């Protein structure tokens, strides 16, 4: 049986849960990291194409390599100010969608 860990309760003392979380220390894939790096396509449905491209490129989501604004500017031929605006408005839409 793999080792289990009890996370502390809100007051700081560890109380046994009715169903403790089992952590597989031998797992090759971290499920939490996977959920952050491969977002659902539905989350991006409300974004404009430029917003989607900037967010996935800046944060390296969906298999995209991480790119700087300078690299994006050269790739897309879009001024830095438009890239910054697309990033800001896209992140704002994601915040409201995920809240």
Residue 63 is predicted with a pLDDT of: 84
Q: Does the pLDDT at position 93 exceed 70?
A: yes
Q: Give the predicted TM-score (pTM) of the model.
A: 0.58
Q: Does the pLDDT at position 74 exceed 90?
A: yes
Residue 66 is predicted with a pLDDT of: 93
- Give the domain ranges of the chain: 38-98
List pLDDT tens digits, range 6-47.
555 555 555 555 555 566 666 666 655 555 555 555 788 889
Out of 1.10.10, 2.60.120, 1.10.730, 1.20.5, select the CATH number for domain 38-98. 1.10.10
CA distances to 5, 17, 18, 24, 53 from 8, rounded to whole Å, are: 10, 10, 14, 19, 40
């Amino acid at each position: 049986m793999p080792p289990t860990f009890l996370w502390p309760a809100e007051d700081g003392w560890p109380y046994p849960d009715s169903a403790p979380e089992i952590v597989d220390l031998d797992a090759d894939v971290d499920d939490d990291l996977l959920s952050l790096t491969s977002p659902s396509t539905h989350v991006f449905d409300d974004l404009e194409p430029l917003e989607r491209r900037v967010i996935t490129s800046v944060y390296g989501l969906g298999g995209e390599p991480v790119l700087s604004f300078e690299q994006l500017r050269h790739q897309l031929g879009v001024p830095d100010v438009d890239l910054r605006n697309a990033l800001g408005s896209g992140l704002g839409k994601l915040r409201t969608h995920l809240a």
